[in-house]
Amino acid sequence: GVAKVDPILVVDGVERHFGVLTAVNVDHLEIPRGAITALIGPNGAGKTTMISMISGLIPPTAGDAYIGGHSIAKEPLAAKRLMGFVPQEIALYPELSARQNLHFFGQLYGMGGKELSRRVDEVLDFIGLTERQKDRIDTFSGGMKRRVNIGVGLLHRPQLVYMDEPTVGIDPQSRRRILDTVKLLRDEQGMTVLYTTHLMEEAQELSDRVGIIDHGEIIALGTQDELTQKVGEDDRLEFTVGAQAVPEALLSQLRASVEDVSRVLYNAPEAVAEESERMLPGKLTVFSRRGRRALPDVIRLLNQADIEVDAVEVREPDLEAVFLALTGRALRD
């Protein structure tokens, strides 16, 4: 076949309203073939809704998306044949084996006979579970279940694979395996991957292109280099400060009196989650062209104001800086 250079996915004016609230709005999005695109944003930014909508899982209130030229609204079957979806939840039958699960879902895709058995073998090999194929899912670790979940989405050889936070809630070793699997989808299987994450370093390691999502909109999309150029050359100094609030007057003073400071942002301490006891510390971020050379000046002012500094990090421009610059807040795990 001829290599198609047209985008595998085009999204046009897709909106999803919940009552009067516009939860998600994607004006225009094109995903090129054979690349990994990460949609990154804080929890609650609308990532799951967005990915569910542009994969046809939930109908948009307005607009349409096209997979390989097929409209999700008008030709859902043709469009869905080209895509695989790996949800965040583990959607498997716990009392069946890995192989039985894959076989069952393959039949749902209309596959059967020798072709299906062969494909199940291939997928088991790809997700590294050939040895454990006869074991019940309820004996598997979280990471193994996640791999079978991914396997289900790959059975019908989709051209485009959607993954919603594929590494949430699994141990570091399994996480490593899954990240490697995502790269292989692109490099060995020639698939296009669109996945969501709130982990900056994951997006940085994996993706060819990054979309930054905030409040249900993609506010920036491009290669990592294109995005980091937006924030300029400034390094950022990140101060982890104690529980005491940093007064606005001090922020103004830092902006005014430290040489070459382009921006100063403060994120107050907050609970990790609504019910959680665990607090995230306050964070003061100072952007400066002088990088670490600006440290003594900043620390002097913090000392004068009796602000305790628990830790300092100096970082070069990266995706986190882009996120901070565009949204005014840190992307927190």
Residue range(s) of every CATH 3.40.50.300 domain in the chain = 9-229
Q: Which of 130-139, 206-215, 305-314 has the highest mean pLDDT?
A: 130-139
Top CATH class of 9-229 equals: alpha beta
Residue 119 has pLDDT above 50, yes or no: yes
pTM metric for this prediction:
0.80
Domain with CATH 3.30.70.260 in the chain: 233-316
Structure tokens, 233: 């050359």
For domain 233-316, give the CATH number.
3.30.70.260
**pLDDT for 272:** 67
Question: What percentage of residues in the chain have a pLDDT greater than 70?
Answer: 95
Angle 113-126/98-108 helices, nearest 10 degrees? 130
Strands 217-222 and 62-67: unpaired
Q: For residues 255 and 330, what is the distance between their CA atoms, to the nearest angstrom? A: 19
Q: What pLDDT digit, counting tens, does each position of 238-279 carry? A: 999 877 788 899 999 999 988 888 889 898 887 766 666 777
The C-alpha atoms of residue 155 and residue 164 are separated, in whole angstroms, by 17
Task: Please compute the mean of the pLDDT values over residues 56-71 and round it to a whole number.
Answer: 89
Residue 170: name the closest of 196, 193, 145, 187 by CA: 145
